[in-house]
Amino acid sequence: MNKKSVFVLLLFLVFPFFDHNQYHLDVLVNAGINAILVLGLNVMTGYCGLLNLGYAAFFAAGAYTYGLLNAHLGWSFWMSLPACIASSGILGLFFGSCVLRLRGDYLALVTLGFGEIVRVALNNLDSLTGGPNGLSLRHPELKFFGPGFDFGINSLPYYYLMLFVLLAVVVVASRLSVSRFGRAWIAIKEDEVAAACMGINTGKLKMLAFCLGSSIAGIAGWLFAGKQGFVSPESFDFVTSVMIAAMLVLGGIGSVQGAIIGALVLTLLPEILQPLQQYRMFLFGGVMIMMMLFRPQGLLGGKRILEELKPETQRVRQEEDEVLSEDLKQ
């Protein structure tokens, strides 16, 4: 971690000592959960180029795994974490094995439909999931010796738990981006046919990206369900998937820091604009449009992302001009 990252982390660690407002902490916890989700989607879309418009389905898998284990089997919050990660990863493996031969818009449409299928299924399996009424859950507890500490509805313990989980996911996502898997994902994203010709097993690596991104969504779902103490299908609709994708685009596709900034901005902006209740969504949409017009690569997106957004003919022409200029210099 560089000095700037350490400073930002320390700033967030001491923030509750200066601001005791429970509502402010609660909003930041939600922003952190969104950041974890965006980092998971970034593994799929930012690293490997797999556009997923049904990402809320994997978020729901993690949340409902804890909900079902807690409500029906009495499992604790901490005990259910591996199961939440595994259930979302297995769902990603099952779904990915069916659809990852598709590309681009076709993959996006199929994932959109899958997200809605999961939501409708959760709505209709009343005997298992509680249907539209959802499931009531126990909040996390810490027990060492003697009486335990119940998180309850106090935002402070969730805030520090969120920071710990977010930091762990950031470390994993950062290491993945510079690993041989990360370099192979970038090659697949740029040109899948060329990557396959270079000996990269594109099918297995796309599946790996899909499963890892799904598992990270399961962690976010676990944390969300424990904090809320309640899960219902309406929390995992299509709008949730779109907002997660918008956060990724706003922050910068492929950027770990951008994913966090995008989640923070799009979680805080509606809260800041609450006094302008009648014009809030108008201003929210206006900010997004201005971003796409004047900085399409996102807040922290680099030159490579900007190049990807150019039309293919323009990119080819630019590459030809660069090769020609190099030949003339020689």
Average pLDDT, the chain: 85
Q: Residue 230: which of 41, 1, 63 has the closest Cα? A: 63
> What percentage of residues in the chain have a pLDDT greater than 70?
88
Q: Which residues neighbour 89 within 8 Å (Cβ) at sequence distance 6 or greater?
A: 211, 212, 214, 215, 218
Say whether pLDDT at 146 is over 90.
no
- What are the C-alpha distances in Å from 186 to residues 50, 100, 203, 306? 11, 16, 14, 15
- Structural domain includes residue 31: yes
Burial class (CB in 10 A: 0-12, 13-18, 19+), 22: middle
Say whether pLDDT at 2 is over 70.
no
Together in a domain, 278 and 315: no
Comparing 26-40, 107-121, 151-165, 282-296, the range with the smallest average pLDDT is 282-296
- Structural domain includes residue 314: yes
Say whether pLDDT at 316 is over 60.
no
Together in a domain, 111 and 88: yes
Averaged pLDDT for residues 196-219: 91
Q: In this structure, are residues 62 and 36 in contact, taking their beta carbons and an 8 Å threshold?
A: no
> What percentage of residues in the chain have a pLDDT greater than 90?
36
Amino acid at 211: C
pTM of the model: 0.87
Together in a domain, 323 and 206: no
What's the number of domains the chain is made of? 2
- Residue 284: which pLDDT band, with cuts at 50, 70 and 90? confident
Range of the domain at 310: 300-330
User: Widest CA span of the chain, in angstroms?
Assistant: 79
Q: In this structure, are residues 92 and 58 in contact, taking their beta carbons and an 8 Å threshold?
A: yes
pLDDT of residue 327: 61
- Structural domain includes residue 313: yes
